[in-house]
Amino acid sequence: MKIGSILENQSIEKRIAITPEVVKKYISLGFEICLIKNYGIHLGINDENYLNVGAKISEDEKEILKSSDIIVQLGMLSDEKSSLIKENQIIVGVLNPYINKEKLENLAKKKINLFSLELLPRITRAQSMDILSSQANLAGYKAVIESFANFEKAVPMMMTAAGTVPAAKVLVVGAGVAGLQAIATAKRMGAIVFATDVRMASKEQVESLGGKFLTVEGSENLETEGGYAKEASEDFKKKQEDLLSETLKKIDIVVCTALIPGKKAPLIIKEEMIKNMQSGSIIYDLAAVQGGNTAFTQADKIIEKNGVKIMGESNILNKLPISASSLYAKNMFNFVDNLYDKQNKKINIKLEDEIIEKTLIK
């Protein structure tokens, strides 16, 4: 059986789905790997690195798409490339079914098997395939690094003969995977860290990393069965707003990570709150690509309001493409490994497997 992968649109996506390290693993299962010429060259991975571990390199993108049993990618293929895919072929990636609903339904009608990895269930067996966690971890780390790079004061407390430099105060909004990594990174760099989240289960995790959890009085636990955040009630939003308004007056750096799958990012930091923040403060909004958690967020722009810089990128992982690709490729391999019936050497789409059933676009 053949697994193929072509380059993403380089202007928006620098990550790759297959690294030389996982080629060996695929080949050990009996797969043939075929990649487009210069597949990893932008990450310093030459074609020779792939050839040395047994992959094949082709200059014919169309042939790769037509002849592969499984196509592994990061994002959705263009309409032109999707039209080359035939019945029973498999596409695995981050297909964004909330945005690409119609496209995916049309492909599914052609009996193309589509698996979108952001739909993985939050179960123990799926952890090694969890692309949201592996990529969010890196995003949380990088958001803190980017914020600190733009902050014009020292971050840790410094005691000098000339006086004391106070530690920067950081607030992390949303304590999911990205938020927890942001807390850990900011804490390691010497900041005083606060965090807030609609899920009460986050309190213990935040405190275990040395952060202070800001609790809204009379909090409701807004967590879905799958472990994601769900929409808050109007009463909760008002209480959260009041708490945030007061807290933000003394915060230097805010990292926003609050997302609701398939919906516009919740607006958490409003115009009036930003007006009351200290000049020179930084807001890094990881939710920028889904509309942002602040009133002024614009993806890929730094907006300045009353001396406060508001930043956010459409794909922060393009700044860590080597690390992000390495983790993504391993997640992808683990997913394909679960699909593969080693005894009969074929792909087995068994819907009684929760991982397969939840990620398959029907």
Question: Model confidence over 107-137: pLDDT tens digits?
Answer: 999 999 999 999 999 899 999 999 999 999 9
How far apart (Å, rounded) are the C-alpha atoms in residues 93 and 13? 13
**Which residue type occupies 185?**
T
How far apart (Å, rounded) are the C-alpha atoms in residues 151 and 146? 9
pLDDT digits (tens, 9 = 90+) for 292-338: 999 999 999 999 999 999 999 999 999 999 999 999 999 999 999 99
pLDDT of residue 224: 59
**Which residue type occupies 292?**
G
Assign a CATH topology to domain 2-119+321-359: Rossmann fold (3.40.50)
Predicted TM-score (pTM) of this structure? 0.90
Handedness of CA 115, 118, 119, 120 (dihedral sign): positive
Of all residues in the chain, the percent with pLDDT exceeding 90 is: 85
- How many Cβ atoms sit within 10 Å of the Cβ of residue 85? 20
Any idea which residues carry the catalytic annotation?
A: 122, 127, 130, 133, 228
pLDDT of residue 232: 64
pLDDT digits (tens, 9 = 90+) for 269-288: 999 999 999 999 999 999 99
Superfamily name and number for 136-318: NAD(P)-binding Rossmann-like Domain (3.40.50.720)
Residues of the chain with CATH 3.40.50.720: 2-119+321-359, 136-318
Contact 195, 211 (CB under 8 A): yes
Instruction: Copy the structure tokens of residue 263.
Output: 């919906």
pLDDT of residue 241: 87
Q: Is the pLDDT of residue 225 over 70?
A: no
Instruction: Copy the structure tokens of residue 65.
Output: 């798409």
pLDDT digits (tens, 9 = 90+) for 140-164: 999 999 999 999 999 999 999 999 9
